Amino acid sequence: MAQADISIKPTELQGGHGHPDKWKWYDYFTFNVDHKVIGIQYLVTSFLFYLVGGFMAVLMRTELATPNSDFLSPELYNAFLTNHGTIMIFLWIVPAAIGGFGNFLIPLMIGARDMAFPKLNAIAFWLNPPAGAVLAASFFLGGGAQSGWTSYPPLSEITANLPQTLWCVALIMVGTSSILGSVNFLVTIWKMRVPSMAWDQMPLFCWAMVATSVLALFATPVLAAAMVLLLFDINFGTSFFKPDAGGNVVVYQHLFWFYSHPAVYLMILPIFGIMSEVIPVHARKPIFGYKAIAYSSLTICLVGLFVWVHHMFTSGTAPWMRIFFTISTLIVAVPTGIKIFSWVATLWGGKIRYTTAMLFAVGLLSMFVFGGLSGVTLGAAPFDIHVHDTYYVVGHFHYVLYGGSVFGIYSGIYHWFPKITGRMLNEPLGKVHFVLTFIGTILTFTPMHNLGMQGMPRRVAMYDPQFAHLNQLVTVGAYILAVSVIPFYFNVIWSWMKGKEAGPNPWNAMTMEWTTDSPPIIENWEVLPVLTHGPYAYGMERSDEVGPAGEPLPASRS
């Protein structure tokens, strides 16, 4: 391993090789190959897209506050519906959780100076802003794609063809970005750890990113195939998904869900990694069940590739397939439950500091249990057939995506903001943000379950007046969520400029990224660190001699 010989060279010095010790502000707007810059670029752009997608959601909820369609035109409502989903998934959660945290943290956590392929990394990021621009352009060239974020044919082939084409192109771009990023993460984690770090001494976030990357690597190209076929159908006169010419619309659903079901694990596995980092630090305890958490990520990755048909129980799926996919779907709850159990066990008897990062992590635990359980009910074919395409489904996935992924991203931001910027976030303001978010999430997404059980269909702008009261409650919740981002964005911008200096390790954490300056210098360390203790060795009498789960560190590992 040639790179290992180089990286342990102790005489390495900074500043002698032609680039500066610190980036200037404008470096963050250029094609920069530093993984920290790319991580920040991912985070900032995704947080901008979060505002765009959230704005669409607020407009839709305003429309849905009354049973009649009187605020948005039907076309515009459909376009917001489609692009809200697309932006939130592909341009907010995935780039923030995978691109942002993954790029910023992985090299720092494993003691590398950069990712394995820095230029590829920058290319992967720079596919995202144009994808967002293409989606935005589709609004001005025919009113935006209008067939929902799933874009099922034949609907997607008969509505607004040009915007639908642009939508496909945008998805292919973010998909390519995701594949290139995954290649980079896998090779980096595989080959660029400091020589003293064995696989089972790696922080759990890196394990989560391994699972995420494998999943993205195998699932994303299938979505690309679906997009290409749809593009050909719309623009070049083929008939893959045109039943009157022998095509088959269900084939599209298979291809689409083969990616888009694993995509929910793409959005939650990095969050599980963030949870596994935040909880032990703020509970001052070694993580409970290191290996269980690590392997359960890989199990979710594996099983997650065999569950996609549970989105298609009502698409004419054969009964034997329903049985198989019901069982495989329910099995996913097992490794997820192992993780939840391990985090609760880590909290048990810990010396918990209720920082905002910890509040969001604990909030996530409760939210995710609720959302996960409604997912288990949906995974069972008989119940799913009853509530399919109702607001029950909408409530479920928003519980896991907002209460899970978004809470996790917030938690990670509060935890690593000092490392990223060198300054602390304001804690009281953070707590205001947390309370608003928590109340808003419950108020917005819980009544949706009731609406769904009563039969309110999703994806519609008009509904029966009997649902009006619950819908008003949901809309009020959505407004609270909209307001909740104000203290957060204000906090981030203000603290980035004027916040309290953080110092290298404000939380007294044990993982390797806290051993360098905040923000880290350009090559991360002047002299690469040597692993002396596991990432979660809290409260040990001689913390420098124990491994991640508290066991003594073997004399030589490499």
Partner 1 sequence: MQGAIDSTPVVTGHEVAAHEEHQDLRVLGLITFLASEFLMFAGFFAVFLVFRGSHVQWPPEETEVELLLPAVNTLILVSSSWVINLGTKAIKKNDLAGMRKWFGITAAMGAIFLAGQVYEYMNLGYGLKTNLFSNCFYLTTGFHGAHVFIGLVLILGVLWRSRRANHYTDITHTGPEMAEIYWHFVDVVWIVLFSLIYLLTLI
CB nearer to partner 1: pick between 111 and 430? 111
* Residue whose CB is less far from partner 1, 13 or 497: 13
**Smallest distance, partner 1 to C-beta of residue 7, A:** 8
Angstrom distances, CA of residue 289 to CA of 19, 113, 283: 43, 29, 15
Element holding 459 (H helix, E strand): none
Contacts of 469 (CB under 8 A, 6+ apart): none
Minimal distance, residue 233 CB to partner 1, in Å: 9
Q: How far is the CB of 121 from partner 1 (least distance, A)?
A: 9
User: In the complex, which residues of this chain contact partner 1 (CB under 8 A)?
Assistant: 1-3, 6, 9, 11-17, 19, 21, 33-34, 107, 112-120, 179-180, 182-184, 186-187, 190-192, 217-222, 224-226, 228-229, 232, 236-240, 245-248, 251, 254-255, 258, 523-524, 526
Q: Which lies closer to partner 1 via its Cβ, residue 249 or residue 439?
A: 249
Contacts of 372 (CB under 8 A, 6+ apart): 333, 336, 340, 400
3-state secondary structure at position 12: coil
73: which 2 tokens? 């035109």
What distances in angstroms separate CA 287 from CA 16, 69, 180, 393, one per listed residue? 40, 51, 31, 33
Residue (107 or 506) nearer to partner 1, CB? 107
Question: 298 vs 439, which CB is nearer to partner 1?
Answer: 298
Nearest distance in Å: CB 9, partner 1: 8
Burial 399-422 (b: 16+ CB within 10 A, else e): bbbbbbbbbbbbbbbbbbbbbbbb
Quick one: 14 or 69, whose CB is closer to partner 1? 14
Task: Report CA dihedral (226, 232, 233, 234) to the nearest 10 degrees.
Answer: 110
Q: Which of 226, 260, 206 is nearest to 156 (CA)?
A: 226
- In Å, how far are 42, 231, 504, 555 from 533, measured between CA atoms? 31, 53, 18, 12
CB of 14 to partner 1, least distance (A): 5
Q: Which of 207, 178, 184, 179 is nearest to 35 (CA)?
A: 184
* Residue number, 107 or 547, with CB nearest to partner 1: 107
Query: Which residues 6+ apart lie within 8 Å of 549 measured at CB?
Result: 286, 287, 289, 290, 291, 534, 536
| Closest distance to partner 1 from the beta carbon of 187 (Å) | 5
Query: Encoding tokens for residue 347?
Result: 């909290």
Nearest to 102 by CA among 6, 177, 8, 10: 177
Report the nearest approach of partner 1 to the CB of residue 2 (Å).
5
> How many whole angstroms separate alpha carbon 144 and alpha carbon 164?
7
Residue 258 identity: F
Helix then strand count (H, E) for the chain reads 19, 0
Nearer to partner 1, 127 or 338 (CB): 127
What is the SS3 string spanning 201-217? HCCHHHHHHHHHHHHHH
Cis bond upstream, residue 428 (ω within 30): no
Minimum distance from residue 195 beta carbon to partner 1 (Å): 15
CB of 462 to partner 1, least distance (A): 36
| Rounded CA Rg of the chain | 23
CB nearer to partner 1: pick between 228 and 345: 228
Provide the b/e sequence for 452-473 (b: ≥16 CB within 10 Å): beeebebbebebeeebeebbeb
- Measured from the CB atom, is 11 or 554 closer to partner 1? 11
Angle 63-67-69 from CA coordinates, rounded to 5°: 50
Residue 545 near residue 533, CB atoms below 8 Å: yes
Cβ atoms of 178 and 120 closer than 8 Å: no
CB nearer to partner 1: pick between 136 and 521: 521
**Closer residue to partner 1, CB minimum distance, 501 or 526:** 526
Phi, psi of 328 (to 5 degrees): -65, -35
Quick one: 158 or 385, whose CB is closer to partner 1?
158
Q: Which residue has the tokens 């073997």?
A: 554
| CB 185 to partner 1: min, Å | 10
Question: Considering beta carbons, is residue 188 or 441 the nearer one to partner 1?
Answer: 188
